[in-house]
Amino acid sequence: MAHAATLEIKALNKQYQVRGESLSVLEDISLSIKPGEFVSVVGSSGCGKSTLLKLIIGLEDDYQGELLLDGNRIVGTSLERGIVFQEHRLFPWLTVEQNIGIGLLNNTKLTDEEKRKSIQEHIELVGLTDFANAYPYQLSGGMSQRVAIARALVNRPEVLLLDEPFGALDAFTRAYLQQELQRIWEKEGITMILVTHDVEEAVYLGDRVVVMQPRPGRIKRIVDVPLPRERNRASAAFASIKEEVLNEFSNTAESKSPLTAATPANEEQFQHDDKLYLPA
């Protein structure tokens, strides 16, 4: 079992320069995440959810405020922090086993034997033992995403970040993988942060749901989810918390449908899940 980290976000602000002007995308974000906690982050397009994950993973360091992992400032990428994107990004010429092994390329602490053992353990963890030698084209979308999760976990990170990991899957596969992710989180015992547009998914998986609002991205409210696991989506208690989160969007002025809101043209460069595109 990996060590679970404490993540502290203090007065975090982030701006981008667009056509010579400063555009604020995150404003005064403060959040404390306990070791082993599962935190869901939900909000409409343009609220800075994916930008927040980029800063936590260490892809950008141009910001104001503090990002601390176990009290140490986050600087650059690290094996302590893993990430899973919406697209599985498997190498089509590599097998399941080899794709998971890619996650260990920069790990100089483990011997070759320890790496092989960790790969096998994580193939078993995501239930793909019979497909260890299969190639991506031989896998379903859900199976491919399980490989991506195993690859992110194979280094036993202290924090796992998930950026809409099930957004491209059908409803049945999505529900199944939500159950699988909960099982993996409970077994691994690490801190997880999930970004999603799906309020039901956020409530089903999270110990807390962080509701963000856009332009600039900021925390509107944090909703506790004091329900036992495994959670019953059909229960009155579950429906009540889901409605409580949805109500935070009902009076949002930015859009009639905030969780699928269209993005103004001058902000669209910030909306791709994991890349920043600037206009030509």
The DSSP string of 157-201 is: -SEEEEESTTTTS-HHHHHHHHHHHHHHHHHH--EEEEEES-HHH
Q: Which range (8-12, 202-206, 256-260, 261-265) has the least confidence?
A: 261-265
Region 248-260: mean pLDDT is 55
What pLDDT is stored for residue 38 in this prediction? 97
Per-residue pLDDT of 205-244, as tens digits, reads 999 999 999 888 999 999 999 999 989 999 999 999 999 9
pLDDT averaged over the chain?
Answer: 86
- The pLDDT of 89-118, averaged and rounded, is 93
Residue 119 has pLDDT above 60, yes or no: yes
Band the pLDDT of 253: cuts 50, 70, 90: very low
The CATH code for residues 7-80+157-266 is 3.40.50.300
Q: Show me where the domains of the chain are located.
A: 7-80+157-266
Contacts made by residues 49-52, CB under 8 angstroms, sequence distance 24+: 49/163, 49/195, 49/212, 49/217, 50/163, 50/195, 50/272, 50/273, 50/274, 51/14, 51/25, 51/26, 51/217, 51/270, 52/12, 52/26, 52/195, 52/217
The confidence band for 17, taking pLDDT boundaries of 50, 70 and 90, is confident
Grade residue 2 by pLDDT with cuts at 50, 70 and 90: low
Write down the pTM of the prediction.
0.84
Q: Could you tell me the pLDDT band of residue 23, with boundaries at 50, 70 and 90?
A: confident
pLDDT digit string, tens, across residues 52-100: 999 999 998 889 999 999 999 999 988 889 999 888 899 999 999 999 9
Cα–Cα distance for residue pair 56/49, rounded to 1 Å: 11
User: 130-144, 196-210, 227-241, 250-264 — which is least confidently predicted?
Assistant: 250-264
pLDDT for 255 equals 43
Kindly tell me the burial class for residue 137, based on how many C-beta atoms sit within 10 Å of its own C-beta (0-12, 13-18, 19 or more): exposed
